[in-house]
Amino acid sequence: MLQSLSFRDRQSEVRIARSRVFVAVALMILLLVALLARLAYLQVVRHSHYTTLSQDNRVKIVPVAPTRGLIFSRDGVLLADNRPSFRLQVVPERVEDMREALAKVATLIDLTSSDIERFQQLRKRKRSFDTVPLRFNLTEEEVARFSVDRHRFPGFEVTASLTRHYPVGAPLVHVVGYVGRIDEDDLKGLDPDNYTATTHIGKIGVEQYYEAMLHGRVGLDQVEVNSQGRTLRVLDSKPPGAGATIRLTIDTRLQAAAMRALGDRRGAVVAIVPNTGEILALVSTPAFDPNPFVNGISAALYGDLRDSPDRPLFNRALQAAYPPGSTLKPLMALAGLHYGLRSPADGTWCPGWFALDDDPHRYRCWNKWGHGRMTMHEAIAQSCDVYFYQLALDLGIDRMHDFLDLFGLGRRTRVDLPGEASGLNPSRAWKRKARDLPWFPGETLIAGIGQGFQTATPLQLAQATAVIAGRGTVIQPHVVSRIETADGKAITTAIKPRRVLADLDPKAWDDVIDAMHAVVQGPTGTARRSAAGAPYEYAGKTGTSQLFAIRQNEEIENEDIEERLRDHALFIAFAPFDRPEIALAVIVENGASGSGSAAPVARKVLDEYFLRMEHSRRAAQNG
């Protein structure tokens, strides 16, 4: 009985368990179907979506900065290159005790408190496995000292990167310019994609003007990263395209000679090849070393440059507009011939001054005793002001403006350098518009000797001189002769083709060029002293641009005037005078007299060109 009871119980217990297991299995199947459905949805239906997400997780695009193009001079001197510079950097996660490690490193490598401060700030913004720069521009000695002991400094490493360097430095800074760190203003005009990896950009000079060519094309590395962003390997790489190599028209020997000739005076020299417009030299003094600008110039050094009364940062050769003074006279003479107002033999009487009919003001000639009767030839050679007062009066300001305009005065030359000033070639219309005043006849007179409103940059003067030398061949000055891309292709620069002022009588050029020859190599020429003994024949014209208005009847010699108020000295020249190879303009600020200060500078530049460069060129041809 008991047994049968327990047997029945056992049966019912098994039945209960069976039914409950059945329910459990049914439930499990339901849940499993739900799991598998969800798995299938994720892995089959949405597979491509999640594949994309997982790719985005792991693959990052890392831009690689291109190598900046090199800049060479006409004579093959490297003017801008990329030098390996050594920097000390740290991977913080590999340094156990940063304070102690920095103290130890400081015994080998000079670390200033600002280095350490910058390092600590950069470190905060980076991840612990990122490298953080500690010191830039290590000296070779520091690199050597560190290398010997480097095993003592886990996490510290010296790495080489490329830094822009200007081997020639100051003498070419106003042509080549420099690069600096990209700032917010630079960012506005940049293609953000191409500059993602770039830290520096051309700030002035060729570096700025040809930025697009020099920069190159950014490379892209596709890298695999882990969840902390650490790069594990490069999956694909599109290497950067190096910037183009640029060859300048500048000859470093001529440039250096001009620098030497100007010495420590403020001034500018521009030398151009007539017929082509190639700029052989473009000097502005004082100059400055561009190298400190590359990696951030110190505030103190920059302050000195900015605040110096000599304004070294100012590119006088193309940013400064000076009254051309008497260097305008050859152009005036050409205008007189062109408009038929003068023949070469026509004479003007110079009593030492000139006066308008209804004006008591006496317009002085530089020679207060008077030159007597002056032909055009004599008036140019001796720089007689009265001759040109009368000529200006006969021409009138508007004809003067139109004629000078043909030579590029008052208009930018469109040289391939940034920041060029336009100078001013005045006219009635200009004065009405700019000053809302009528034109006065006295203003025509002083414009006739290159004073007053008339201004020109040294570059414009050199261009105008080249037009005379080339007998009416108008050229566009330029500093870049050739651009070679990294794959060997040459890009031609956009230089305006030269143009000839055909409606001028060839005889007129001869007359004026002869007179300019007489300025330097004639018996009475104003610049004859500076030309003494020159074994080549050249033509020129002195000029003085007044800064200080001399009151009527006052006798003041330049020597008595404070140095910075003295007149600027100018000189234009080209040589050889019959087959010109070089045309130049020289300005010496506060040099007092064109013949005394500027003409000797031109002579030294020409000597360099004809005696040394020509000599070595011939030697090269013969040997």
Partner 1 sequence: MDEPRSVWQRVHVDPWLLLGLLVLCAIGLAVLYSASGEDRAMVIRQGTRMLMGLAVMVIFAQFPPAFFSRLSPLLYVAGVILLIILNYHGTGRGAHRWLDLGFMRFQPSEIMKIAVPLVCARLIAAGSLPPTLPRLLLAAVLILLPAILIAEQPDLGTGALIGVAGAVVLFLAGLRWRYIAGIAVVGLASLIPLWTMMHDYQRQRLLTLLDPEVDPLGTGYHIIQSVIAVGSGGLFGKGWLHGTQSRLEFLPERHTDFIFAVLCEEFGFIGAATLIAVYCAVIWRGLAIALAAQDSFGRLLAGSIALTLFVYVFVNVGMVIGQLPVVGVPLPFVSYGGTAAVTLMAGFGILMSIHTHRRRLSLSL
Catalytic residues: 326
Least Å distance, CB 93 to partner 1, is 15
Tell whether residue 17 is a contact of partner 1 (CB under 8 A).
yes
Candidates 11, 26, 33, 50: give the one binding partner 1 (CB under 8 A).
50
Q: What mask of x and - would describe binding to partner 1 in positions 471 to 510, judged by CB under 8 A?
A: ----------------------------------------
Q: Cβ distance 533 to 603 under 8 Å? A: no
Least Å distance, CB 219 to partner 1, is 24
First to last CA, the chain: 137
**SS3 label, residue 86:** strand
Candidates 26, 36, 187, 550: give the one binding partner 1 (CB under 8 A).
36
Least Å distance, CB 236 to partner 1, is 15
Q: Which CB, 50 or 548, lies closer to partner 1? A: 50
Q: Which CB, 46 or 368, lies closer to partner 1? A: 46
Q: Which CB, 57 or 237, lies closer to partner 1? A: 57
Tell whether residue 529 is a contact of partner 1 (CB under 8 A).
no
Least Å distance, CB 53 to partner 1, is 5
| 611 phi and psi angles, rounded to 5 deg | -90, -40
Radius of gyration (Cα) for the chain, nearest Å?
A: 38
Tell whether residue 26 is a contact of partner 1 (CB under 8 A).
no
Comparing CA positions, the residue from 341, 352, 435, 414 lying closest to residue 386 is 352
Q: Which CB, 8 or 373, lies closer to partner 1? A: 8
Least Å distance, CB 235 to partner 1, is 11
Q: Which CB, 58 or 373, lies closer to partner 1? A: 58
Distance CA 623, CA 619 (A): 6
Q: Which CB, 196 or 222, lies closer to partner 1? A: 222
Tell whether residue 113 is a contact of partner 1 (CB under 8 A).
no
Residue 334 exposed, middle or buried by CB count within 10 Å (0-12, 13-18, 19+): buried
CA 542 to chain CA centroid, Å, is 29
Q: Which CB, 221 or 443, lies closer to partner 1? A: 221
Tell whether residue 32 is a contact of partner 1 (CB under 8 A).
yes
Candidates 26, 33, 57, 199: give the one binding partner 1 (CB under 8 A).
57
Candidates 11, 26, 33, 34: give the one binding partner 1 (CB under 8 A).
34
Least Å distance, CB 124 to partner 1, is 20
Tell whether residue 33 is a contact of partner 1 (CB under 8 A).
no
Candidates 3, 4, 7, 44: give the one binding partner 1 (CB under 8 A).
44
Candidates 26, 28, 429, 490: give the one binding partner 1 (CB under 8 A).
28
Candidates 8, 11, 13, 359: give the one binding partner 1 (CB under 8 A).
13
Least Å distance, CB 155 to partner 1, is 22
Q: Cβ distance 205 to 417 under 8 Å? A: yes
Q: Which stretch of DSSP H or E encloses residue 37? A: helix 2-40
Token pair belonging to 234: 């490069």
Tell whether residue 54 is a contact of partner 1 (CB under 8 A).
yes
Distance CA 348, CA 317 (A): 35
Collect all residues with Cβ–Cβ distance below 8 Å to 509 and sequence separation of at least 6.
Answer: 334, 468, 471, 472
Amino acid at 173: V
| 119 phi and psi angles, rounded to 5 deg | -60, -45
Candidates 11, 16, 84, 507: give the one binding partner 1 (CB under 8 A).
16
Least Å distance, CB 169 to partner 1, is 49
Q: How many residues bind partner 1 (CB under 8 A)?
A: 39
Collect all residues with Cβ–Cβ distance below 8 Å to 316 and sequence separation of at least 6.
Answer: 266, 267, 268, 284, 285, 458, 587, 589
Structure letter (DSSP) for residue 294:
H
Q: Cβ distance 449 to 401 under 8 Å? A: no
Least Å distance, CB 21 to partner 1, is 5
Q: Which CB, 41 or 548, lies closer to partner 1? A: 41
Instruction: Identify the sign of the CA torsion 31, 36, 37, 39.
Output: positive
Whether the ω angle into residue 286 lies within 30 degrees of 0, i.e. cis, is: yes
Q: Which stretch of DSSP H or E encloses residue 268? A: strand 267-272
Q: What mask of x and - would describe binding to partner 1 in positions 221 to 260, judged by CB under 8 A?
A: ---xxxxx---x----------------------------
Distance CA 428, CA 444 (A): 10
- DSSP per residue over 124-173, as a string? HHS-TTS-EEEESS--HHHHHHHHHHGGG-TTEEEEEEEEEE-SS-GGGH
Enumerate the H helices of 371-422 as residue ranges: 376-381, 385-395, 397-406
Candidates 8, 11, 26, 42: give the one binding partner 1 (CB under 8 A).
42
Q: Which residues pair with 225 in a beta bridge?
A: 231
Q: Which CB, 14 or 434, lies closer to partner 1? A: 14
Q: Name the site residues for partner 1 (rule: CB under 8 A).
A: 9, 12-14, 16-21, 24-25, 28, 31-32, 34-36, 38-40, 42-44, 46-47, 49-51, 53-54, 57-58, 224-228, 232
